[in-house]
Structure 1
């Protein structure tokens, strides 16, 4: 059983990788903030759709990591079996990526209109979504390639790939916006070029874990499909709910919407240790479950929960204290700054619930139960967050505070529900 020090050492590159991935959206928002609030709102709205795609790839990557870790733990290390899983995962990633890309190109304008975009925001967000969403398979490949490396114990290489992509994204975007005056189009091109180079970098580092030249002929593993579908549906339910929440926030005004986007960009730092630690939770629980070792599973979940909670609390509190300074980096508009501060406050208040929800979701995924987190997320998102958020924000006129209070209650419900179910499942393991 790994010690806390070993867990942190294993998780640290994944945490840094999440931090670096978050910087892509933040750097884009900061750069376009120098153009106009309409540009901020446009990139934010398009990115909310792109995060739906990203969530699907993350879910697939999580299951790939879990399956590969179980193979290693049970000594199923035959090269043929590994290659079959690699080829199947890459094939599935490309199929999903190309379908999502086609959807982005063909339906960007009507979908963004449905979600409340209009005028210049609609025009700019359509450009961004068509390009970045159209080539989203690059992000999918980076996620899947990284999943194999992490499951093999190599969490540093995906981290370096994210660092490279971030630096290049910043350089490309700034050059194309301020040097070539391409505006939001420059931001989109910068993100795509950075991901292309990041994908090539990871492919080179895979070495013996690269997909074969005939990967497209691979039969997609039924277990991969069976586990990936509920995991992807869970993330999809989460992100679609977030998009519907955006429709509520749009109705509170463009300045409030832009401020909320700024706040969410900043609070991404809060979740940096959580998602990084969850990657480790999935792998450690999968390895222990393959033995099976109930005590190790229980210990890993408890320790990763408290480690991620402690880190998230420190980061969240520090951001809350520096809220005025951080908000000023994005905008001087008082309404937008106030809206951003609301997001920062509620993000900090939800620390214990968010880490609990994500940790137990990762634990169930590591044990091969991806259905239960999907049910919990769907009920919490649509039954509490969306419905209650709409009532509090609009009819009861609580505004943005009402939306975020509903978010807090949703995370509380899912944390308690998943913890009870986890404790019961351990007893019968």
Structure 2
């Protein structure tokens, strides 16, 4: 990839699109590969039975809650690093990198200890069926043990991406995911015989079920964290030794100021997902298995949104460093047009291929039928959800992180959680009604985020105000 400033200096539509593509495609591919691996992970566990799928699904929702502060600080540091790159300020960029080290150490240790300590209690707190509580608790405990390595993967990857290098995190995460698949193959199932072109091979297996899946994940995350740390320290903008790392109180305050609303946003959202999952889990193992598998299946279809979100936040940070409001608005419109166009196509695939997608994860016909129904429903809102993801990236890149927090909080709890609680506790509760609340949440959130950027030139006004204050 060319240096970022070469694209920005030309400042024409072709150059901006090339920059967007260069930043986005490795991140989109990374998200795609991670989702494929989660597909395989879920499918492998799903072969054990609906209870195993439900146990892993419960832990997945809780993990999103635990690691949300890491994502938040990663996004904050990405915005700060992107602005430093836009200003061509190497000294500031290195200072941002220094603070990332402190963030990884503190969050990794604190959240790891907290998660492991509470692992035995949370499945019961979430109202999970007693049949899956033990497996869910053990799975969650094991995958949280390498929390500091997970923090390194998340935070350091964001700082690396902000410098314009999106390929290195892609390569490392690809390695992590492939290793996870290989370990799952041997850890989940028992010793068995497989036939390849007529030749029968006896394959060793640990027969550890969901616990084996957790061990495979933990080992993969540990290796990934080590490799991401090595890559981070080798970057030209962050190259340093541990003895030269300097704590900068002012810059750390700025990162916390940016990151706190994102952390609250992601925590509230993740907590909402946990409560949401708990409500659905009370409807029975089959319904919750259908919900969990359909949720994982849906993830692949909004990957472009999250890939474009990172690219958008980074490019907005560059334009903020350049103080260029016109380019800022061109970037916003261009990324939205691209992601919505892509999502319309992927939504059609999801709608017509819903049943086939569900069959990739389970052979339970009741789970397949129910999951396919809700996937067809959610397909209609996918373009709007992707637009909301990119718009959130715009606000994050600007440093206006409070706006998405307030919108997300109101929509998550006012449109999704409270109505679902009412539905679950009324006669005739169904997964279809639950997912209808999800669809309404996506639509309303997109409308509110878009209104804050496009109505009456608000986007430019916010941008110019941020240029005056940073």
- Where on the TM-score scale, by shorter chain, does this alignment land: which range? over 0.9
Show the counterpart of 1:194. Answer: 220
- Residue 142 of structure 2: aligned partner: 131
Return the alpha-carbon distance in structure 1 between the equivalents of residues 44 and 113 of structure 2. 27
CA distance in 2, matches of 1:340, 1:215: 53
Find the partner of 1:176 among 163, 169, 187: 187
- Cα offset for 1:112? 1.2
Shift of 1:214: 3.9
Deviation at 1:5, TM superposition (A): 4.2
Asked if 1 retains the 8 angstrom alpha-carbon contact of 2:33 and 2:174, the reply is yes
- CA 1:393–1:118 in structure 2 vs 1: closer, same or farther (change >3 Å)? closer
Question: Is 1:292 paired with 2:323?
Answer: yes
Task: Give the one of 154, 160, 165 matched to 1:154.
Answer: 165
Change (3 A) 1:54 1:318: farther
Q: Deviations over 1:22-47 (max 9, x none)?
A: 23432221111121211111011001
Residue matched to 2:71:
58
1:46 aligns with 2:72: no
State the distance in 2 between where 1:60 and 1:191 align.
23
**Would you say the 8 A contact 2:128–2:278 is kept in 1?**
no
Count of equivalent residues: 427
Match for residue 425 of structure 1 among 458, 465, 469: 458
Q: Does 1:71 align with 2:84?
A: yes
Return the alpha-carbon distance in structure 2 between the equivalents of residues 228 and 396 of structure 1. Answer: 42
Q: TM-score, normalised by structure 1?
A: 0.94
| Residues 398 and 182 (structure 1), Cα distance of their counterparts in 2 relative to 1, 3 Å cut | closer
Say whether the 8 Å CA contact 2:146–2:221 is kept in structure 1: no
Over 3 Å counting, the alpha-carbon distance change for 1:23 and 1:53 in structure 2 is: farther
Q: Which residue does the alignment assign to 2:314?
A: 283
- Provide the TM-score with structure 2 as the length reference: 0.86
Q: 2:96 matched to which residue of 1?
A: 85
Unaligned residue ranges in structure 2 (runs of 5+): 1-10, 190-204, 465-470
Q: How does 1:9-408 map to 2 (within 5 A)?
A: 9-78=22-91, 81-178=92-189, 179-206=205-232, 207-208=234-235, 209-210=238-239, 212-214=241-243, 218-219=247-248, 221-395=252-426, 397-408=428-439
Q: Distance in 2 between matches of 1:94 and 1:27?
A: 31
C-alpha separation in 1, matches of 2:458 and 2:27: 28
Give distance in 2, aligned partners of 1:290 and 1:85: 15
Cα separation, 1, equivalents of 2:170 and 2:318: 22
